[in-house]
Structure 1
Amino acid sequence: MKRGNSKVKLLIGAAIILFGVIKYYSNSEINEFTGKKQHISISTEDEIAIGLQTAPEMAQQHGGLYPDQNYQKFVDMVGQKLVTNSVAKQTNYQYDFHLLKDPQTINAFALPGGQIFITYALFSKLENEDQLAGVLGHEIGHVVGRHSAERMAKQGLTETFVSGVAVGLDPNTAQGAAAIANVINMSYGRDDELESDELGVRFMIDAGYNPIELIGVMEILKAAAGPNKTPERMSTHPDPENRIEKIKQAIEKYKK
């Protein structure tokens, strides 16, 4: 009887995994702005709604918005210049740029649908307008590339896979499967970063900025990581040195 129960569990687990795989691969489309085939299960309208809903909470986590409106206007000006002069303008997204008050966390990030943030800690280390354009162009690249929506779909597939293993085998095996899946998802994250670097270079050139300055941004991030940085294989971000090489290749590809 016990063996029969095990077979039933295996069949149910396999069915859960099969359902997740079919669902994931049935939602495929070509991103018209990057030419990349993607598996996405939400609409651009959903992305915009998620971004708008999440934006206030993200700002709060970083101490709110920076109070100096002159700096905020500067960020808006550079961001909108990038959007207006690139394919980002042809998307259905509404791009909003936010300078966060956080004086310690050196970071910039994008939410689905066009909500883009940069902390004052990073903003204050930038040396010129072109470097700011490099940071914002990279984040616009995440939005145009629909990376958040793609990650949501991949995360859904991962969770379904782990659930299937837990039902069909045992929770301990599922924990191991989850760890493997996490490493795989990290590699997807690194690919997204490299694609956004390339898009950022393209947007900078389109808007008349010097893309070489994006390498300066990488140097700032490298210095901020310090000697105890996380190894690339355990990080969602590629090593800055690898990013610099890819950026140089993108500059050669897109320079006019």
Structure 2
Amino acid sequence: MRRGSGKLKLFIGLAIVAFAVFKFCSSETINEFTGQKQYVDLTVEEEISMGLSAAPSMMQQHGGLLQNQQAQDQLDRVGMKLVQSSIAQNTDYNWDFHLLADDQTINAFALPGGQCFITAALYSQLENEDQLAGVMGHEIGHVIARHSAERIQQQGLANGVITGVSVAAEGGGQAAQAIAQMLTMKYGRDDELQSDDLGVKMMIDAGYDPYEMIGVMEILAAAGGPNRVPEFQSTHPDPANRVERIKESIEKYQ
């Protein structure tokens, strides 16, 4: 009975893994803005809906919106200039730019569908409008590259593998989890570098100085301090390493 039960668990576990892999592979598509193959089965409408649904929660986590109309107007103007002057104008995304009241966390991020955010802590560190364009160009890059949607799809594959291995072999799930986390980690670093590249192109197309994105990297490096987590253990590349890639992108697009 025990041997038969083990074989049944193995069969069920392999079936779960096979289904997860099949579902992932069947979502293959080519991103029209990056030209790269990716795995996404969400529609643009679904991405927009997800972003709009999550936006209020993200605002609440960061103290709501900053009550500074002049700063918000600048953010809106810069964000829409980047969109309307670049490849991003050919999307159906619902673009919104939010200045968060959080004055402690130096950060910017984007949700699926065009919801882009920057904290007051980062905004206050920026030296000029070109640097703001660099930050927003990077976040717009995440959206048009569909990084969030792709991460959702990848996480679905990882969850399927973890579940399948856990069913098939006791203790195997822990190993599968570790592997899945490492895959997701590397994927995140690639996303950041690709968004830097797209951000540089959008800055140039909109008439901003792309070299000011290097200044943004210096701000991020200073915020991390001397005890930054090593690059391999982080989903974000080290700012110093991003600078070299940004310079390469500037040379490529200018």
Give the aligned partner of residue 193 of structure 1.
192
Give the aligned partner of residue 165 of structure 1.
165
Q: Hey, what's the Cα distance between the residues in 1 that align with 2:41 and 2:177?
A: 22
Superposition pairs of residues 151-162 of structure 1, within 5 angstroms: 151-162=151-162
Unaligned runs of 5+ in 1: none
Q: Hey, what's the Cα distance between the residues in 2 that align with 1:7 and 1:229?
A: 47
Give the aligned partner of residue 112 of structure 1.
112
Equivalenced residue count is: 254
Kindly state the Cα deviation for residue 7 of structure 1 after the two structures are TM-superposed.
1.0
Give the aligned partner of residue 81 of structure 2.
81
Tell me the SS of whatever aligns to 1:64: coil
Give the aligned partner of residue 62 of structure 2.
62
Give the aligned partner of residue 203 of structure 1.
202
Q: Hey, what's the Cα distance between the residues in 2 that align with 1:210 and 1:175?
A: 47
Greater alpha carbon shift after TM alignment, 153-162 vs 231-240: 231-240
The one-letter code of the counterpart of 1:121 is A
Tell me the SS of whatever aligns to 2:29: strand
Give the aligned partner of residue 222 of structure 1.
221
Greater alpha carbon shift after TM alignment, 80-89 vs 226-235: 226-235
Greater alpha carbon shift after TM alignment, 232-241 vs 202-211: 232-241
Greater alpha carbon shift after TM alignment, 101-110 vs 227-236: 227-236
Tell me the SS of whatever aligns to 2:226: coil
TM-score normalised to structure 1 length: 0.98
Q: Deviations for 1:140-165, whole angstroms, at most 9, x for unmatched residues? A: 00001000000000000000000001
Q: Deviations for 1:192-221, whole angstroms, at most 9, x for unmatched residues? A: 000000000000000000000000000100
Give the aligned partner of residue 241 of structure 1.
240
Q: Hey, what's the Cα distance between the residues in 2 that align with 1:7 and 1:76?
A: 59
Kindly state the Cα deviation for residue 186 of structure 1 after the two structures are TM-superposed.
0.7
Superposition pairs of residues 96-135 of structure 1, within 5 angstroms: 96-135=96-135
Greater alpha carbon shift after TM alignment, 142-151 vs 29-38: 29-38
Q: Hey, what's the Cα distance between the residues in 2 that align with 1:173 and 1:229?
A: 32
Q: Hey, what's the Cα distance between the residues in 2 that align with 1:123 and 1:176?
A: 41
Tell me the SS of whatever aligns to 1:35: coil
Q: Hey, what's the Cα distance between the residues in 2 that align with 1:157 and 1:228?
A: 34
Q: Does 1:183 align with 2:182?
A: yes
Q: Deviations for 1:222-246, whole angstroms, at most 9, x for unmatched residues? A: 0101111111111110111111111
Runs of 4+ with deviation above 6 angstroms: none
Across the aligned residues of Structure 1 and Structure 2, the Cα RMSD in angstroms comes to 0.6
The one-letter code of the counterpart of 2:67 is P
Q: Deviations for 1:49-96, whole angstroms, at most 9, x for unmatched residues? A: 000011011000000000011100010011011001001010110110
Q: Hey, what's the Cα distance between the residues in 2 that align with 1:6 and 1:41?
A: 34
TM-score normalised to structure 2 length: 0.99
Tell me the SS of whatever aligns to 1:29: strand
Unaligned runs of 5+ in 2: none
Kindly state the Cα deviation for residue 173 of structure 1 after the two structures are TM-superposed.
2.1
The one-letter code of the counterpart of 2:72 is Q
The one-letter code of the counterpart of 2:233 is M
The one-letter code of the counterpart of 1:18 is A
Kindly state the Cα deviation for residue 176 of structure 1 after the two structures are TM-superposed.
2.0
Query: Percent of counterpart pairs with the same letter?
Result: 61
Tell me the SS of whatever aligns to 2:109: strand
